[in-house]
A and B are shown apart, each in its own frame.
Chain A
Amino acid sequence: MPTQQDELLERLTGSEYKYGFVADIDEELAPIGLNEDIIRFIWERKGEPEWMLEWRLRAFRHWRTMEEPRWAKVVYPPIDYQAIRYYAAPKKRHVQSLEEVDPEIRRIFDKLGIPLEEQKLLAGVAVDAVLDSASVATTFKEKLAQLGIIFCSMSEAIQKYPELVQRYLGSVVPYTDNFFAALNSAVFSDGSFVYVPPGVRCPMELSTYFRINAARTGQFERTLIIADEGSYVSYLEGCTAPMRDENQLHAAVVELIALDGAEIRYSTVQNWYPGDREGRGGIYNFVTKRGICLGKEAKISWTQVETGSAITWKYPSVILKGDGSIGEFYSVALTNHHQQADTGTKMIHIGRHTRSRIVSKGIAAGRSNNTYRGLVRILRGADYARNYTQCDSLLIGNACGAHTFPYIEVLNPTAVTEHEATTSKIGDDMLFYCRQRGIAEEDAIALIVNGYCREVLNHLPMEFAVEAQKLLAISLEGSVG
């Protein structure tokens, strides 16, 4: 007799990925493999200045001396870096206006619910759309430019704003930081660039939508956001990929810089293809995200809803350098089937009276593994620094695992850190109670999961909170009713 848990697992493992289509578009591809010629190829295709070639080659040479990290609680076969394609870009992409975007590309984003026509967009959201290695369209540029806000692709920023790029690129995540950051620095092809001038409050959400389309291709995007003194910006990224049997590598680097009194809110709804129910295929999401509160009373807040990817390895962090600066990390990480997530944050307190807050909600279902890994480091000079960490795990079924590795290093006696952790389970009792009140099992799970994640979802911009809520339900829903 199948137990309720079995049925639940069956239902969970029966869920479908809704964004798994492949589009047939004409792309320019680099040869497969990685060497200095490939880096020159990328550099040349992008028509970058000389200093970028040196920058890339330096990173590449360093990368060759490095080993892939193995400390995360994830298991996967060795990656053959010579079997990956490092550049794929739609041929028809240099466009003067949005109307000129290749209809086929437009169709991809329409299908994903990201229309590129400005009049159709959600009010108050500007979008940069990145397909494989290239940015294909950025909306609302003129409107933002009137306020002095720069929102464009990374390629364009390298051409048009070399001083800003040279000054800040790699300043938060140097190529020496880790294996994947070095790789990214060598081969990154595009991404988004944002600069908000002093005292300007960005009036709309800025959003980048990343889509992998080409086969055997890695995506290595680079995002750089600079909020000048007293400015404010809220940025959101979303991502999807086709269903493929192979594992695809996504190794992004995101750097945030907040000057005096500036605030950056960075939200992620990550829905890369997670692989099938047997664990075949899916994206390896090895991402380095870090922000620095350079100035006094600056604030950086990360919010992430992670439901996709076969493997997630990501620790959005904040370096709290300016006195009185604030770092936040709100995370929901959901794993199902054979997904593995090792995610968390680092809060590095350098300045005095710096504060950080970590709220992590892990949800594990199926045969998945979900790990929180966090570091709170309070340096000697960080008088009266404070950290609050709350780290919860929710288990659905009996075959999944949840783990937490909180590291706390306090070098200043005036600092206060608090840590709370809970592990709970959606048990048969809970589901039966809901069902006895007329709520079907699937709705009960969605209700419980949403209740559990509320505190994090509340930090997303409103339109996306609703989307994220649906995404959580879909990620847990099955084909059999």
Chain B
Amino acid sequence: MEPLLSIRNLRVAVDGREILKGIDLEVCRGEVHAIMGPNGSGKSTLAAVLAGREGYEVLEGEVLYNGQNLFEMEPEERARAGLFLAFQYPVEIAGVTMATFLRTALNEIRKARGEEALDPLAFLTLARERMEWLGIDPSFLHRAVNEGFSGGEKKRSEIFQLLLLEPQLAILDETDSGLDIDALKIVASGVNRMRAPERAFIVITHYQRLLNYIVPDIVHVLFDGRIVRSGGRELALQLEEHGYDWLRTDGETVVLPTLE
């Protein structure tokens, strides 16, 4: 079957500096991929390029999403086609309530799917149900988007949006960082509830701890803009034990063949 996402030799520069130096990655429906790697290795850059943030120069390579050239799609078109990014640092929007924001978003996505718009009441019913899954207080919907949210609340809000918008490909950028263990379990259970044969996940994390709860099919190690290693979830354990230095010799990066 055709992969949901297929990245071929992707090279990306920011401000003239090459950050991604040739990424190859295929993600099929139903799979959960974890991406690990040291600070600054390019994980967020990869996520941002996939979501369509401005300011990144694609030097080479292509990305197909559902067989379509991703780079020909506007960010909102990607979102409407089911690509979702849980942000590492979600931005605050004063004056706009979560309810207004998310109902607008959901109805845009529903429109693209050929579904009817939800009226405020139907939206509220759905939103309340999904909030319950994550133990979020109903008053949350009346707060301004991300405004004054604690670090943990922001992460939880991102996962709530994922549950609400029901994407095909969800990219989670360090959704676990800053969460206490209980919150982590709740977030993971939300994600697990969404695991489905037609849906795929890319989970970016520094900690193997998260992968105890969201069990990945494949783990990739991103190092200096390249995927230097891919393997099963035992790779995450090895990284935890040995650190990223384990992938280096004499300060040089050893590019190991991927294990596919």
- Residues of A whose CB lies within 8 Å of any CB of B are 1, 3-4, 424, 427-430, 432-441, 443, 447-448, 450-454
Q: How far is the CB of A437 from chain B (nearest CB, A)?
A: 4
B90 touches A433 (CB 8 A): yes
* Contact residues of B between 53 and 106, Cβ < 8 Å to A: 53-55, 57, 74-76, 78-80, 84-85, 87, 90-91, 93-97, 100-102, 104-106
What 9 pairs across the A-B complex have the smallest Cβ distances? A451-B95, A451-B96, A437-B105, A438-B108, A435-B75, A438-B79, A435-B76, A438-B109, A452-B95
- Given known pairs A438-B76, A440-B76, the reply for A433 and B91 (CB within 8 Å) is yes
Q: How far is the CB of B97 from chain A (nearest CB, A)?
A: 8
A451 touches B100 (CB 8 A): yes
Tell which of B76, B100, B109, B165 touches A447, judged by Cβ atoms closer than 8 Å. B100
B187 within 8 A of A: no
* C-alpha gap A465/B106 in the complex (Å): 25
Contacts of B112 in A (CB 8 A): 438
A447 touches B51 (CB 8 A): no
Known: A436-B85, A441-B76. 20 other contacts (CB 8 A): A424-B94, A432-B53, A435-B74, A435-B79, A436-B75, A436-B79, A437-B79, A437-B101, A437-B165, A438-B105, A438-B165, A443-B104, A443-B108, A447-B100, A447-B101, A450-B96, A451-B93, A451-B96, A451-B100, A454-B95
Residue of A nearest to B86 (CB): A436
* C-alpha gap A436/B109 in the complex (Å): 11
Q: List 5 A-B contacts (CB under 8 A).
A: A432-B75, A434-B101, A435-B79, A443-B104, A447-B104
* C-alpha gap A424/B91 in the complex (Å): 13
B225 within 8 A of A: no
B215 within 8 A of A: no
* C-alpha gap A454/B93 in the complex (Å): 14
Q: How far is the CB of B44 from chain A (nearest CB, A)?
A: 13
* C-alpha gap A439/B97 in the complex (Å): 15
- Given known pairs A429-B91, A452-B94, the reply for A439 and B53 (CB within 8 Å) is no
Tell which of B54, B95, B161 touches A437, judged by Cβ atoms closer than 8 Å. B161
B96 touches A448 (CB 8 A): yes
* C-alpha gap A441/B76 in the complex (Å): 8
A439 touches B144 (CB 8 A): no
* C-alpha gap A448/B101 in the complex (Å): 9
B52 within 8 A of A: yes
- Given known pairs A447-B100, A451-B100, A451-B144, the reply for A435 and B52 (CB within 8 Å) is yes
B95 touches A4 (CB 8 A): no
* C-alpha gap A189/B153 in the complex (Å): 60
- Given known pairs A438-B76, A439-B76, A448-B95, the reply for A432 and B54 (CB within 8 Å) is yes
A4 touches B54 (CB 8 A): yes
Contacts of B161 in A (CB 8 A): 437
B100 touches A3 (CB 8 A): no
Contacts of B93 in A (CB 8 A): 430, 433-434, 448, 451
Contacts of B75 in A (CB 8 A): 432, 435-436
Q: How far is the CB of B214 from chain A (nearest CB, A)?
A: 21
Residue of A nearest to B51 (CB): A436
A439 touches B91 (CB 8 A): no
* C-alpha gap A432/B74 in the complex (Å): 11
Q: How far is the CB of A298 from chain B (nearest CB, A)?
A: 32
A-facing mask of B98-122, CB < 8 A → 1, else 0?
Answer: 0011101110110010000000000
Contacts of B53 in A (CB 8 A): 432
Tell which of A4, A424, A436, A447 touches B96, judged by Cβ atoms closer than 8 Å. A447
* C-alpha gap A432/B50 in the complex (Å): 13
Tell which of B84, B94, B165 touches A451, judged by Cβ atoms closer than 8 Å. B94
* C-alpha gap A440/B76 in the complex (Å): 6
Contacts of A427 in B (CB 8 A): 91
Contacts of B52 in A (CB 8 A): 435-436
Residue of B nearest to A1 (CB): B57
* C-alpha gap A434/B93 in the complex (Å): 10
Q: How far is the CB of B70 from chain A (nearest CB, A)?
A: 13
Q: How far is the CB of A422 from chain B (nearest CB, A)?
A: 8
Residue of A nearest to B107 (CB): A438
Looking at A434, A441, A447, A448, which has the most chain B CB atoms within 10 Å of its CB?
A434
Contacts of B100 in A (CB 8 A): 447, 451
Q: How far is the CB of B258 from chain A (nearest CB, A)?
A: 29
- Given known pairs A439-B108, A451-B100, A452-B94, the reply for A433 and B87 (CB within 8 Å) is yes
Q: How far is the CB of A434 from chain B (nearest CB, A)?
A: 8
* C-alpha gap A443/B54 in the complex (Å): 18
* C-alpha gap A1/B51 in the complex (Å): 19
Q: How far is the CB of B164 from chain A (nearest CB, A)?
A: 10
* C-alpha gap A178/B85 in the complex (Å): 57
Contacts of B97 in A (CB 8 A): 451
* C-alpha gap A327/B128 in the complex (Å): 41
Residue of A nearest to B82 (CB): A438
A428 touches B54 (CB 8 A): yes
Contacts of A451 in B (CB 8 A): 93-97, 100, 144
Q: How far is the CB of B12 from chain A (nearest CB, A)?
A: 14
Contacts of B51 in A (CB 8 A): 432, 436
* C-alpha gap A432/B95 in the complex (Å): 17
Residue of B nearest to A7 (CB): B54
* C-alpha gap A332/B147 in the complex (Å): 22
Contacts of B102 in A (CB 8 A): 437
* C-alpha gap A1/B57 in the complex (Å): 10
* C-alpha gap A452/B144 in the complex (Å): 11
Residue of A nearest to B146 (CB): A433
Contacts of B165 in A (CB 8 A): 437-438
Contacts of A3 in B (CB 8 A): 54-55
* C-alpha gap A428/B76 in the complex (Å): 14
Residue of A nearest to B80 (CB): A438
Looking at A438, A452, A454, which has the most chain B CB atoms within 10 Å of its CB?
A438
